[in-house]
Amino acid sequence: MPQQLVDKNAEGRDARQYHIGIAPGEVGSVALLPGDPFRVPLIAEFLTDVREVAHNREHRTMTGLYKGKLITATSTGMGCPSTAIAVEELARVGVTSFIRVGSSAALQQGIEPGDLLISEGALRNDGTTAAYVHPGYPAVPDLPIALELRRTAERLQAARGGFRVHSGINASDDAFYAEGPEWIAQLSGMGVLNVEMEASALYVVARLRGLRAGMVCACSSNLVAGASLYDEKNARLKDGWVRSIEVALDTAVALDL
């Protein structure tokens, strides 16, 4: 019998998505993407008319209104593989713009835990994007989103104080515990601002699918200064998460994403 190879890109469209558990019509056009499913309710605290749409595996989704705009929040889980799946499937059900919100470790002196980090592009130290594109293909955010995230964060800083705003190139790594001192020193020496685990997949998949994407993270630690707020009970880290969510939401409204 002849082979009947499955084309995953053609399968499952216009249907409830296998991994995220969402069907067309259940979400808005813009999604905030935290990594942790337990931070999705934190986003929902800013919304009205909140509804939990699905929670399957690491992907939890809630929707609600913010300043009259329908907002979707979906957790990606940790790392590029699950992030790519979330973006691919959210795009299939109607999302066209994505803003990652979460935690990231700083790689430059002078960045304090709780500060906000705006991504201008990602160093692709992951395996997922290598399956999508040429090694030299850049992982970059949508320019208007990145610029508006910066402007919005600076306005929030001016209004409230207590934190600073930084922007630059981040690194997206696959192996959290393989980030040894030599690798951290190398990234810092190249001027890389921070390191996290999802942005490169978000940017590459978004570009390939004609979507828009950006990222604003709270600094959880500084790997070149020995400062850390990984304890989630620490108020400064939660304050950073809240600020990143506010910035992302106001950016979504300002750009009518």
pLDDT in tens, 62-73: 999 999 999 999
Residues 178 and 114 sit within 8 Å (Cβ to Cβ): no
- Supply the DSSP symbol for 65: E
- Per-residue confidence band for 1, with pLDDT thresholds at 50, 70 and 90: low
pLDDT in tens, 115-156: 999 999 999 999 999 999 999 999 999 999 999 999 999 999
Residues 122 and 199 sit within 8 Å (Cβ to Cβ): yes
For the chain, give the mean pLDDT: 95
- Per-residue confidence band for 165, with pLDDT thresholds at 50, 70 and 90: very high
pLDDT of residue 233: 54
pLDDT in tens, 97-123: 999 998 999 999 999 989 999 999 999
- Per-residue confidence band for 187, with pLDDT thresholds at 50, 70 and 90: very high
User: What does the pLDDT average to over 28-47?
Assistant: 97
pLDDT of residue 231: 55
User: What does the pLDDT average to over 67-95?
Assistant: 98
What domains does the chain contain, in order, with CATH numbers? 30-254 (3.40.50.1580)
- Cα angle, residue 208 at apex, residues 202 and 213 outer, rounded to 5°: 35
- Supply the DSSP symbol for 139: B
